Amino acid sequence: MGALYGAARAARSRLRPFLSESRAIVPILHKIGGERSFCSHSRQNSREGAVDLGQFPPERIRNFSIIAHVDHGKSTLADRLLELTGTIKKGHGQPQYLDKLQVERERGITVKAQTATMFYRYGIKEDDAMENLSNYLLNLIDTPGHVDFSYEVSRSLAACQGVLLVVDAAQGVQAQTVANFYLAFESNLTIIPVINKIDQPTADPVRVKAQIKSLFDLDPADALLTSAKTGQGLEHVLPAVIDRIPSPPGKCDSPLRMLLLDSYYDEYKGVICHVAVVDGALRKGDKIASSATDHVYEVLDVGIMHPELTPTGVLFTGQVGYVISGMRSTKEARVGDTLYQAKSTVVPLPGFKPAKHMVFSGLYPADGSDFDALNHAIDRLTCNDAGVSVSKETSTALGMGFRYGLSVPQEYGAKVISTVPTVPYMFEYADGSKVQVQNPAALTSNPGKRVTACYEPSVIATIIFPSEYVGPVITLCSERRGEPLEYSFIDCQRVLMKYRLPLREIVVDFYNELKSITSGYASFDYEDAEYQQSDLVKLDILLNGQPVDAMATIVHNLKAQRVGRELVEKLKKFIDRQMFEITIQAAIGSKVIARETISPLRKNVLAKCYGGDVTRKRKLLEKQKEGKKRMKRVGSVDIPQEAFSELLKVSKD
Amino acid sequence: MGGNNSWKSFGANSQDDTNLRRALNPHHTEDSTGSSNCMERNNIPGAEASQKEMEMPRSMNFQLYPLLSLPHRPRVGSKFSPTPSTSLLPCLTAVCRISSDVHTSIPLPLPRPPLPEAAYIHLPFCRRRCHYCDFPIVALGSSSHRLDDDPRISTYIRFLLHEISAAKAPSSLHPPIRTVYFGGGTPSLVPPRLVRSVLEAIRAKFGELAADAEVSMEMDPGTFDARRLDEMVGVVGVNRVSLGVQAFQEELLQACGRAHGRGEVDEAIELVAGCRGIESWSLDLISSLPHLTEEMWEESLRLAVSARPQHVSIYDLQVEQGTKFAKLYTPGEFPLPTESQSAYFYKMASEKLSKAGYEHYEISSYCKPGHECQHNQTYWQNRPFYGFGLGSASFINGVRFSRPRRLKEYEQYVKKLEMKTTAEEDDDVAIVDAKETAMDMVMLSMRTARGLDLKWFESFFGEAMKLSLCRAWRPYIDSGHIVAMDEEKRVVATCDFELEMAGGGQRRRWEVAFLRLSDPEGFLMSNELIAISFGVLSP
């Protein structure tokens, strides 16, 4: 899982709005912008108005995204397009972007969609080869590469009318390509297939074209052949965007309606919202209201991401840009919210359904006294992403901590103990009551009433891999309680399989396992599916009869025995002998299904203690004490911190 | 100021006041001139230093270091005059850093801790090094039979005498030394006349020994005959012998590299047990030697009891780094006994010796009533002591100091010591860390049967600390590793202990007065249990 997130982050890192180093860009703006109207009001915003957005009616605007499987060249293509339009300087991009990523990571910003505005001069051929060159405003709206962020992807796509579907000419269609295609397809977007990396010796565009035809029913003749690396074929990309993707559909003369795409917190400027103006226009000084909160804000600054924040003082219909409006926290900026002129009345835009976090982990400081530090770090994180779900919780074993939705922030590293990731389960009882459980410890082991049904979230997984691995993949999926849905050849060598899998089964170690059994050739993606009924039990781990809340898990009944045995054996290895005998048990309710004992220490004494020995003895015992400090204590049993992380490794069910 | 307040709290009632004075100067008599007088007396040794301590910046560091002052148990059949048994109160001192920015003068009555009344003297000579030994010793080799004229011994003694005479202590006002301990090495290898000269130097420095002073000497079988023993007793004044038997089995003695066999053991026991001037002697054994069997251990314990010593020390073998044993063996692995075997040996000793009328008064010490080793009690009650000789440790003014363990370095140390003027010596005002003091106190007291005096602990470290300590140990009271006792040393039931802890914040009479480790389970786990308390004392 970690690998997935990591890859996704790395892949989509290069298209963020850059807040500094913008001066180099301004001259280019002047050239492209043509007319210049200096209507700035303050020295601070002296560059405001450098771009006259008024010359870009919706028909001169195209909003699009690039979607691709990880490493198929999305970022490089984006960089080339930005260079081609003079938005960034050639060769200057990459290192800066990487640096930026590092900084942003340190600030705890999660994976988010970003946007860049480009200007492009292009002539649409009219009747008699009469070329009429016009300026176009193109908004490249970035999407996270992986469908773990499918919510983010669809959020980005909501502001687009079309996408570039990038496929590696050698690797062909991969799982994420499929998932991304469907997201775009379901949003009724124009899809431009781009077969990239055609300069590679193993490139096989013909085969990829065939895959595009068979899988997506797209006309292979429409595919653009490019090499973002060598620049080959790039000249056709933006013309295709302009020719094929429709312009944004909004009404210029209607009252302002804009969609809040995203927000983040900047230390100096406060909350910065990314918006797509659907109808009407937005000007600096306007009073805008939020349909979600009814709060009214004054527009302090408005502009485009070029790619740095570039004030324009105005955004017109169909345009995408940023707004700074004095919001204090990103919590006020509800993604998917409709913003409108304060005095007008509008019908809110459909918006998005809120992000639903499906994977939860307990997060605890390894040293209890570090709770404040962790709290602070998590605060910063939530400050930058209103979508992150975090709630405080207390574990008897681990003290104060958090229940954290989505991915575990790796940034806090070794100082954090994270519990086995879990998913929200539903339990129905005989008395008709229903409980949703995000933390297994919260589920009563002996509720005193019969469980009539349990449900767990499932996913539809798409796996594409060379056909020789069919056997192991099927074994893996059925071990993970998968239900086969689809099995097809996408060409003569590669197989696409769809499985319905319990989400719980893929959150720990599934992708790693899949990679290892397919020698790294499988690609995997999934989309959330509905809850399905399942035979689930809560598995408690008891030390000397006392349950360790942080080790409780919910597992399938049929797997309980095996998982229980593994957990108990693992713990036996990691818990040192102590003064009492320790019994380690795995139990379902009051039924013990696995048991191990650790025999007690018999003797720990230093015999002689003469005068010269006092300091030496004290130091020795102090060392012994320090060893105890790294333990978490449950009842009278000291559990080393490593035991918790070891449990993570074993519980792939 | 902290020092003042603490001072007051101890002088709260007249009984305490008397106790305090007694603690400061155990030789204070009821008709002496009272506390100010005794303070003066105690301040004299560091007159200049006290002057400096008067002018202290506000920022300085006050730290307490309590010194246990326990009653000396009247010895059976000795001329020992018992001191009042109420003097359980610790002494108090503030040791402070003298900082360079002395701007404010805060006059403070700073009592010095009592002067030591115990002296350890290290006589490092052995015929050869035993395989388990990591002590600072000098192996003379077994070839030389005329040890009495060995220049290595006489040279060492010369340095030792210089060290003693260079010690800073006013002979005229020093309280009498009550215990002298000749440890080694094998002190019985040193010619009696030389040992006598050492004791003379002690007298010259600190005055005549207390009339009932305990003078102990470690002696090894095969290193003395009747005549030498008589000399040690009659000429030197040794009245207590610690006999290093270690084992009764020829094969075990050989395996651990002892220079004597079973014959010498029997002979030595006969000599010591039959020696008139020896009021008390200890038979020392090592348990858990390699190849030790249950039968052997049972035999050793039986023979030890039948030798009728007043004291038995049983040291569990520790495989120390750098020793021959460390090269040969791994603890818990054959031929060393397993952990549970050696725990069993410990329990056997505790059981058999208790049955034979010995009190298990410290983790590795047993004695007939009244025959505790007074010198060792000094260590275990955290009282000060002098140390002289190679590698020896002293505990003076709250400072623990160990001398060099190599002969050459020790000689250098003594030379430097002699060159120091009195004024220079007073510079070494050390910082005593309260946490370390607390840990020493808990560690040392919990290793004894008397255990930790909670009232006394509370008086230094407060009720909150006492309660945290009790809370940390609570599970082990349940499990029987720790015993809670009231003032009269009656066992307090666990549930009552619980109640008291819960009501700790309210005004409740705290009945639990002592906590001690149980025998043998608690003693066997002493490291664990003490380490747990360290987690409270020094988190």
Domain borders along chain A are: 2-243, 257-341, 360-418, 426-534, 537-650
Share of chain A above pLDDT 70, in %: 77
**For A334-347, what is the mean pLDDT?**
86
A11-61 tens-digit pLDDT: 333 333 332 333 223 333 333 333 333 333 333 344 444 678 888 999 999
Q: How far apart are CA B243 and CA B265, in angstroms?
A: 9
Residue A362 has pLDDT above 60, yes or no: yes
| pLDDT value for B501 | 64
Higher pLDDT, A466 or B42: A466
Asked whether the beta carbons of residue A611 and residue B364 sit closer than 8 angstroms, the reply is no
Higher pLDDT, A63 or B38: A63
**For B284-298, what is the mean pLDDT?**
95
Is A234 within 8 Å of A79 (Cβ atoms)?
A: no
- B88-120: buried (b, 16+ CB within 10 Å) or exposed (e) per residue? ebbbbbbbbeeeeeeeeeeebebbbbbbbbbbb
Q: Are strands B280-287 and B240-246 parallel, antiparallel or unpaired?
A: parallel
Q: List the single best residue of A603, A625, A629, A631 to mutate versus B (max B Cβ within 10 A).
A: A603
Is A437 within 8 Å of A427 (Cβ atoms)?
A: yes
| pLDDT value for A236 | 93
Smallest Cα distance from B396 to chain A, Å = 12
Nearest-by-Cβ selection for B379 from A580, A606, A611: A611
Asked whether the beta carbons of residue B525 and residue A580 sit closer than 8 angstroms, the reply is no
| pLDDT value for A506 | 83
Homologous superfamily assigned to A537-650: Elongation factor 4, C-terminal domain (3.30.70.2570)
A197 marked as part of a ligand binding site: yes
Place of tokens 């115990």: B118
Judged on CB neighbours under 10 Å (0-12, 13-18, 19+), A294 is exposed
Higher pLDDT, A405 or B178: B178
**For A194-215, what is the mean pLDDT?**
93
**CATH top class, domain A257-341:** mainly beta
A70 marked as part of a ligand binding site: yes
Token pair in block for residue B480: 């029987």
Q: What is the DSSP string of A460-518?
A: EEEEEEEGGGHHHHHHHHHHTT-EEEEEEESSSSEEEEEEEEEHHHHHTTHHHHHHHHT
Asked whether the beta carbons of residue B343 and residue A610 sit closer than 8 angstroms, the reply is no
| pLDDT value for A31 | 33
Q: How far apart are CA B490 and CA A425, in angstroms?
A: 56
Q: For residues A582, A586, A587 and A591, what is the CA-based torsion angle, rounded to 10 degrees? A: -80
Is A546 within 8 Å of A635 (Cβ atoms)?
A: yes
Which residues of chain A have a CB within 8 Å of the CB of B394? Answer: 611
- Average pLDDT over chain B reads 79
Q: List the single best residue of A582, A601, A605, A609 to mutate versus B (max B Cβ within 10 A).
A: A605
Is B477 within 8 Å of B522 (Cβ atoms)?
A: no
Residue A509 has pLDDT above 90, yes or no: no
Token pair in block for residue A604: 């720990």
B161: confidence class by pLDDT, cuts 50, 70, 90: very high
Q: B538 to chain A: nearest residue by CA? A: A622
Which residues belong to CATH 3.20.20.70 in chain B?
Answer: 118-380
- CATH topology for B118-380? TIM Barrel (3.20.20)
- CATH number of the structural domain A360-418: 3.30.70.870
What value of ipTM does the predicted structure carry? Answer: 0.75
Residue B93 has pLDDT above 60, yes or no: no
| pLDDT value for A407 | 46
A74 marked as part of a ligand binding site: yes
| pLDDT value for A32 | 34
Nearest-by-Cβ selection for B526 from A580, A605, A613: A605
| Count of all residues that appear for chain B in the document | 539
B167-190 tens-digit pLDDT: 876 656 889 999 999 998 999 999
- The domain defined by A2-243 carries CATH number 3.40.50.720: no
Which residues of chain A have a CB within 8 Å of the CB of B391? Answer: 612
| pLDDT value for A646 | 72
Residue B46 has pLDDT above 60, yes or no: no
| pLDDT value for A649 | 61
Is A260 within 8 Å of A336 (Cβ atoms)?
A: yes
B107-131 tens-digit pLDDT: 333 345 788 999 999 999 999 999 9
| pLDDT value for A321 | 92
Q: How far apart are CA A554 and CA B269, in angstroms?
A: 70
Higher pLDDT, B161 or B429: B161
Token pair in block for residue A509: 């170690």
Among A149, A108, A102, A141, CA closest to A264: A108
| pLDDT value for A132 | 73
Residue B448 has pLDDT above 90, yes or no: yes
Is A254 within 8 Å of A223 (Cβ atoms)?
A: no
**For B398-419, what is the mean pLDDT?**
92
In SS3 terms, B188-249 reads as HHCCHHHHHHHHHHHHHHHCCCCCCCEEEEEECCCCCCHHHHHHHHHHHCCCEEEEEEECCC
| pLDDT value for B65 | 41
- Average pLDDT over chain A reads 78
Alpha helices (H) along A202-301: 205-211, 237-244
Residue A183 has pLDDT above 90, yes or no: no
Among A233, A226, A19, CA closest to A114: A19
Residue B458: other Cβ atoms inside 10 A = 16
CA distances from A320 to A191, A507, B145, B240 (A): 20, 35, 104, 97
Is A298 within 8 Å of A273 (Cβ atoms)?
A: no
**For A572-589, what is the mean pLDDT?**
88
Residue A145 has pLDDT above 90, yes or no: no
Residue A299 has pLDDT above 60, yes or no: yes
Nearest-by-Cβ selection for B524 from A605, A612, A613: A605
Q: B379 to chain A: nearest residue by CA? A: A611
**For B232-249, what is the mean pLDDT?**
96
- CATH number of the structural domain A426-534: 3.30.70.240
CA distances from B178 to A125, A352, B75 (A): 115, 88, 13
| pLDDT value for A113 | 44
Q: A625 to chain B: nearest residue by CA? A: B531
| pLDDT value for A4 | 33
Asked whether the beta carbons of residue B538 and residue A609 sit closer than 8 angstroms, the reply is no
| pLDDT value for A153 | 61
